[in-house]
Amino acid sequence: MTARPEHDAVTILQSARLRRTAPRIAVLESLLASDGPLTQEQITAHIGPRGPNRVTVYRILESFVAAGVVRQAFLRDRAQHYELAHCCPRHRVHPHFTCTQCGKTCCLPEVDLPMPAAPVNGFLVSRQRVEWEGLCPSCRQSPAAD
Amino acid sequence: MTARPEHDAVTILQSARLRRTAPRIAVLESLLASDGPLTQEQITAHIGPRGPNRVTVYRILESFVAAGVVRQAFLRDRAQHYELAHCCPRHRVHPHFTCTQCGKTCCLPEVDLPMPAAPVNGFLVSRQRVEWEGLCPSCRQSPAAD
DNA sequence: TTTTTATGTGCAACTCAGTTGCGAAAAGAG
DNA sequence: CTCTTTTCGCAACTGAGTTGCACATAAAAA
Ligand SMILES: [Mn+2]
Ligand SMILES: [Mn+2]
Ligand SMILES: [Zn+2]
Ligand SMILES: [Zn+2]
């Protein structure tokens, strides 16, 4: 279950010097179990009815972002999507792909998009965010269903 | 003032078969006068106190997007930013640059970022959005003030 | 272990961008 | 000018995220 220490909720909390509370462990485990960024609403739904208050989830995510454990991946439908930060460096985040057919969003951490090192038209780029839209592998094979 | 017909509010409305009303002309002229995407709030502020109701501005922008005259450029601080669509094709939108110092966002229409033609890891990309962050030309020269 | 203290949590109320319903106004057709 | 259709203004609503404050609890100190 707990293969690498980076993928264990309690280990992540300890190395980030964050208090080990039930709500924090639950939020971390939701993010660890997901294959893509999640909203507060999705995290709360994943934890279940006995989980923490939604305000608590927001505050936990805020503290995780401050500690560098979690990153704000992107904003969609006016809702912030959060993901674990241990997969890629801060300033060159991997592209995120959203399927126009099934609506699922995936991380593409193995894709390395070059970021301009020299200024472009006088603009010095230090951080880039790329969002892709199109058809995911499974929707390309079966265009009707998911 | 009205150099090219593409840059004239009334002409844009006529060629899009949209009714020529004072609120629509005012919204179009705000976008024409701006060098970057605008929010409803910014458009309303630009028009002034005698301008249309904010709900009307939202509905006008909605109809412009449906007619292909305006595009939803990006979402920032939970607010949608709109820009005129006549500057670049639908599926390969130019990158938008936001300065971390002065906060201004600029369009970079002359920058042509390649979009993957072949599927990446099985994902067929049909639309891409790129956001850049860093220092704008004027903030690079005078790091303290704008 | 028990006590103490700093930090985390739950609840209610709030903010703010955007939406909806509906009656009034006005653009364009005839 | 009259009629029809679309647009507009207002009020109320929605939903994500925030804030203030009292209470709970993890971790440090005794
Ligand atoms: Mn990701
Ligand atoms: Mn632009
Ligand atoms: Zn799909
Ligand atoms: Zn600047």
Output the domain CATH number for residue A69: 1.10.10.10
Q: Are residues A70 and A106 in the same domain?
A: no
Domain final residue pick, B71, B87, B103 = B87
Residue B146 has pLDDT above 50, yes or no: no
> How far is it, in rounded angstroms, from Cα A103 to Cα A106?
10
Q: Are residues A64 and A116 in the same domain?
A: no
Chain B hits for A126, Cβ within 8 Å = 100, 133-135
* Contact at CB, A125 and B134, closer than 8 angstroms: yes
More confident residue, A101 or B21: B21
Q: Are residues A114 and A101 in the same domain?
A: yes
Domain final residue pick, A39, A69, A87 = A87
Mean pLDDT score, A103-131: 91
Task: Count Cβ atoms below 10 Å from residue A38 Cβ, excluding itself.
Answer: 25
Q: Which of A24, A64, A74 is nearest to A47 (CA)?
A: A24
Q: Are residues B14 and B55 in the same domain?
A: yes
Of A78, A110, A131, the CB nearest to B128: A131
The letter for the amino acid at A118 is A
Q: Are residues B69 and B24 in the same domain?
A: yes
- pLDDT bracket for residue B3 (50, 70, 90): very low
Q: Which domain holds residue B116?
A: 92-145
Q: Are residues A14 and A81 in the same domain?
A: yes
Distance A98 CA to ligand 3 centre (A): 8
Q: Which residues lie closer than 8 Å to B101 by C-beta, 6 or more apart?
A: B135, B136, B139, B143, B146
CATH of the domain at A105: 3.30.1490.190
Number of domains in chain B: 2
C-alpha B139, offset from chain centre: 22
Mean pLDDT score, A11-25: 97
Tokens of B63: 């109809």
Asked if A53 is an interface residue toward chain B (Cβ–Cβ < 8 A), one would say no
